Amino acid sequence: MIEVANRLPVVWRNVRSTRTWRAQDMVNWHRMVRPLREMPSGDGSFDFYHLVFDCCTNFAVDYQPRPTRGRMHAGPALARRGGDHSVIVFVDAPDHTSGVATTLRQWSTQAEERGHDLAVFHCGDEDLFNNGLRFSPVGTLNLGVYEGLKLHVPAVTEVVAAARKRGCDAVHISTPGPMGLLGLVIARELGVPAFGTFHTDFPAYAAQLTGDFHLEAAAWRYMRWFYGQLQRIAVPSASTREKLVWNGIEADKLSVVGRGVRTENFSPQHRDLALRAEWGGARHDWLLYVGRISREKNLECLVETFRRLSAKRKDIGLVVAGDGPYRAEMEAALAGLPVIFTGVKRGEELARIYASADLFVFPSETDTFGVVLLEAQASGLPVIVSSEGGPKDCVIDGLTGSVIKPMNPANLARSIERMFLDRATLLEMRDSAREHALRQTPEKSFTAFWNLHTGAFAKMADVA
């Protein structure tokens, strides 16, 4: 009874937010959801109405209608190429600052350079892909549990019509949001196989951000249903594959494709002594964190770790590059200590920050990989990660960094101190980190991604 009472304010807020819905919004959602409800649910544990109930009673769900509709924006390289198989990738929130967005841009570029027939269908306000087709949103979905993530909703009829006109041999779904759901609808409409990528551990995020493990279980029910519709699934790391199998995704469907980094963009050559002087010339060693500043990244652990280090040593500083809902609280918790918050940085400015630091710390236990870890190692930084989650798979423990088990302030502080005390090993790790990153190329990752489809096509042809 107490649990129900605690949820009532959230329910009331969500009910009130529906006052902004227009009739066309309700029709648009119906066009998306109706065909999805007809798809198989595997063990029968998933139901769309249960999903809506779980979402609307646990956190704020805000849908904002948009006045724009009826406009599509084609990238300059969208035209069909012919040759090998054609794939349409459906993407949610490609403008969100994350490793997922970086990987999608890399794969899009690789497809264009190799002449593969790949089109990226996405919904938003920015043209982000040369081979993309952008749909103007008719509405935007904001999930209160994940501040800053906006899921744009297109006009369903426009996306379906565009997919029919272009045609494809396969659909690849990058994210399980509105565009991803439309990808399922269109694959069924066109009679082509659906593939996908598991980029982000949303169930873990739900648990971390709400503290409600019932919501995490509900999210996994949705994931099992969603990814159960797909023929093959790309995953970024072996650890992520293991977790998916543990949570009921068929092992035979899962293939590790990895991630890549542009080592010409991230390099020790960008080290900038003037920048280090700006941070504080009296500090001999600088720690670095790059990424979203949010609780699901386990940044409270980093805060407590740095407090402990600062109490013992006056020559260590911390640089935090990024932004997010936890930033103000993190700044307050570290007030008076040698910490630099740079905000979101990109391009050469970010490359200088990486190369000018001395050690990269990434305490997250929910990430499926961590592209920032490859960028750090490419810049010559040893990295420290948790033994939980995917980040440990892009680190060679003891050679390019350290894997902490368990990740807590005491163990993290001890590992940082140990690495700074052994300067000879730290220098060797810098070289090894760079060498390791040189082997993790976007070309290698894209090849594995593309072969996921061509291998399935070959098997289908053999059966036929």
Residue pointed to by tokens 């349409």: 88
389 in Cβ contact with 368 (< 8 Å): yes
Q: Which amino acid makes up residue 103?
A: T
Residue 463 predicted with pLDDT over 60: no
Buried b (16+ CB within 10 A) or exposed e, 165-174: ebebbbbbbb
Domain count for the chain: 2
329 or 74, greater pLDDT? 329
Q: List Cβ neighbours of 461 (8 Å cut-off, separation of 6 or more).
A: none
Regarding whether 235 and 117 lie in a shared domain, the answer is yes
Domain identity same for 312 and 327: yes
398, amino acid identity = G
* pLDDT above 80 (res 56): no
Q: Are 94 and 220 part of one and the same domain?
A: yes
124-161: buried (b, 16+ CB within 10 Å) or exposed (e) per residue?
A: beeebbbbbbbbbbbbbbbbebbeebbbbbbbbebbbe
**Token duo for residue 172:** 């690849």
8 in a structural domain: no
Any domain includes 96:
yes
Q: Are strands 139-143 and 61-65 parallel, antiparallel or unpaired?
A: antiparallel
Quick one: 314 and 401 in the same domain?
A: yes
What is the C-alpha separation between 387 and 113, in angstroms, rounded? 37
What CA–CA distance (Å, rounded) separates 132 from 121? Answer: 6
The helix/strand/coil state of 62 is: strand
Number of helical (H) and strand (E) elements in the chain, helices listed first: 17, 17
Highest mean pLDDT among 5-14, 69-78, 272-281: 272-281
Whether residue 330 is found in the same domain as residue 235: no
SS3 313: coil
Residue 96 is predicted with a pLDDT of 63
Q: What's the sign of the alpha-carbon dihedral 425, 429, 431, 436?
A: positive
Three-point CA angle 60, 64, 69, nearest 5°: 150
pLDDT higher than threshold 70 for residue 47: no
* CA gap 215, 209 in Å, rounded: 10
Q: Binning pLDDT at 50, 70 and 90, where does residue 1 land?
A: very low
pLDDT tens for residues 59-83? 677 888 988 655 778 877 677 666 6
DSSP string, 262-283: -TTTS-GGG--HHHHHHHHTT-
Q: Does residue 46 have a pLDDT over 70?
A: no
d(CA 388, CA 178): 29
Query: 10 Å Cβ neighbour count for 278?
Result: 11
Higher pLDDT, 204 or 173: 173
Determine how many CB atoms are found less than 10 A away from the CB of residue 459: 12
| Whether 209 and 133 share a structural domain | yes
- Does the pLDDT value for residue 418 go beyond 60? yes
Is there a domain that residue 44 lies in? yes
pLDDT tens digits, 87-146: 999 999 777 657 788 899 999 999 999 999 999 999 988 888 889 999 999 999 887 667
Answer for the pair 174, 257: CB distance below 8 angstroms, yes or no.
no
Same domain, 148 and 72: yes
> What is residue 43's predicted lDDT score, i.e. its pLDDT?
58
Question: Does 1 reside within a domain?
Answer: no
Same domain, 370 and 412: yes
**pLDDT of 351 higher than 90:** yes
173 shares a domain with 125: yes
Give a yes or no: residue 4 inside a domain. Answer: no
Domain range for residue 427? Answer: 268-440
Neighbour-count burial for 403-428, b at 16+ CB within 10 Å, e otherwise: bbeebbbebbbebbbebbeeeeebee
Residue 9 lies in a domain: no
DSSP notation for 317-335: EEEEE---TTHHHHHHHTT
Q: What is the pLDDT of residue 39?
A: 84
At 72 the pLDDT is 79
Q: Are residues 251 and 371 located together in one domain of the fold?
A: no
Does 87 share its domain with 126? yes
Any idea what the CATH number is for the domain that residue 75 is in?
3.40.50.2000
For residue 365, pLDDT over 80 is answered with yes
Please answer whether residues 142 and 150 qualify as being in contact, where contact means their C-beta atoms are separated by less than 8 angstroms: yes
pLDDT tens for 436-447 read: 999 999 999 999
CA 187, CA 33: separation in Å to the nearest integer? 14
Is residue 6 in some structural domain? no
Report the relative pairing of strands 132-135 and 316-321 from DSSP bridges. unpaired
In a domain, 11, yes or no: no
Long-range (24+ apart) CB contacts under 8 A made by 263-266 are: 263/378, 263/434, 263/437, 263/438, 263/441, 265/347, 265/351, 266/351, 266/354, 266/355, 266/375, 266/376, 266/378, 266/379, 266/437
Strand, coil or helix: 74: strand
Residues 185 and 299 in one domain: no
